Structure 1
Amino acid sequence: MKIKPKHAMYNGLSYSFFDRKSDKVCFMLSGTGYTYDKPILYYSTALLLELGYDVIQINYTFEQQHFEQDSQAISEMVYRVANPIVEKCLQSKPYREVVYLGKSLGTMPIVDYYMQQTPSIPARYVLFTPLLSLQHTMANLLDKHAFLAIGTADPHYSQEKLAQLATLQLAVLEDLNHSLEIPLNVDLSIQHCQSLITQLKIFLQNN
């Protein structure tokens, strides 16, 4: 990636800022083990930069004991550490559009908080492998608009639950696991990654 990020700290948390001098911004929230250098988040970052977005990757980590809370408390925990950076960056420039993109754990505060708020500027939401097995996730997704990608081999995949999310743009990928890959099948994993990035590009360019 030719555009190198600026690394900064705010409120005790680091973030990486890819500056395209843009009036559009994407905040990225990673999964627990699925970091920004993994394929889907790496190429999503590259796509957003290609489309002219500033990109801000929020670099949180949590100790294992933090995941012993109930799921709503975990969602609040991630929101509480990430949101000060979101607010700071939104106040720093007159952005006219914001994208919230999350993977797994990172989708929780997007679904439970950002998608429930009335945004001050137009917002889009991208959910890679959200935790559809959680009751509050499903409840907060009903009648909302977002791009949702999940594989049929993901433990959180449910055809029945996806059928309830008719207002979302869905990318359901055959045989992909929670990492959006097919283990020991590099060719198919790459093909699915390309397909997913293409679908994401269409979603982001759709007015």
Structure 2
Amino acid sequence: MKVKQRKAQYNNIPYNFFDNTSNKVCFMFSGTGYTYDRPLLYYSTQLMLELGYDVVQVCYAFEQQQFEQDPKAISDMVYQKANTIVEYILRTKPYQEAVYIGKSLGTLPIIDFYMQQCPAIFSRYVILTPLLLFEHIGQNLIDKNTFLAIGTADPHYSKEIVEQLSSHHLSIIESADHSLEITNNTIESIIICQTLLAELKKYLKKTSALPKL
């Protein structure tokens, strides 16, 4: 049976909740213009539900002038919104596992905060089209482990930084843009989405928490 989306709000921050009656949860953080109905995030949501997770999509919004701050301030701004919902959801249920999925702007709180912390529960991180040209991002990715996908035609792509990330599961897509699509090639763009989701599914199954003895 299809899991229905429930729209909710906490501390004036809206979020979408998909209740899969699970002890595992996936938190999703969108980009500025790349919302949850766009292909990568829509099918990532469906994949996480298929894998048995509750899914929480944080629906933050910012004014354009708020992006005139320095990159670290922007990251902190997104984290404060996202983490309000994350902490609230983790208090509502004794989850045993969490996956954090971010797209573009939504990768900032994952890279700068969640990946730098010692999580109370088993956690994994998926970063789609991270903003690698933000000066501090590359440094915060060193010696970490994530599923990272980015295209070589993305303006935030950096071959130099990517070559330093040998500890990560990397999906570098030739000629793909910031939406992980190929301009003027619809079929190839669909294939990229399909291939990426299949790769992510394998990654999540491979790195799943070990069962308790």
TM-score range normalised by the length of the shorter chain: over 0.9
Aligned runs of 1:105-184 on 2, under 5 Å? 105-184=105-184
1:81 deviates by 1.0
Deviation string 1:92-112 (CA, Å, 9 cap, x unpaired) is 111110001000000001100
**CA RMSD in angstroms, aligned pairs only:** 0.9
1:183 deviates by 1.6
TM-score, normalised by the number of residues in structure 1: 0.98
CA distance in 2, matches of 1:186, 1:114: 35
The residue number in structure 1 matching 2:197 is: 197
1:203 deviates by 1.0
The residue number in structure 2 matching 1:32 is: 32
CA distance in 1, matches of 2:152, 2:57: 27
1:197 deviates by 0.3
Describe the SS at the equivalent of 2:161: helix
The residue number in structure 2 matching 1:92 is: 92
Aligned runs of 1:25-104 on 2, under 5 Å? 25-104=25-104
Q: How many residues align?
A: 207
**Runs of 4+ off more than 3 Å:** none
The residue number in structure 2 matching 1:16 is: 16
Describe the SS at the equivalent of 1:7: strand
CA distance in 2, matches of 1:163, 1:184: 29
CA distance in 2, matches of 1:66, 1:46: 31
CA distance in 1, matches of 2:111, 2:152: 21
The answer to whether the aligner puts 1:3 opposite 2:3 as a matched pair is yes
The residue number in structure 1 matching 2:210 is: none
1:69 deviates by 0.4
Flag structure 2 segments of 5+ consecutive residues without an equivalent: 208-213
Counterpart residue identity of residue 34, structure 1: Y
1:154 deviates by 0.4
1:159 deviates by 1.6
Describe the SS at the equivalent of 1:126: strand
Flag structure 1 segments of 5+ consecutive residues without an equivalent: none
CA distance in 1, matches of 2:98, 2:173: 26
Deviation string 1:139-191 (CA, Å, 9 cap, x unpaired) is 11000010000011001112221110010000011111001111211100001
1:2 deviates by 2.6
TM-score, normalised by the number of residues in structure 2: 0.95
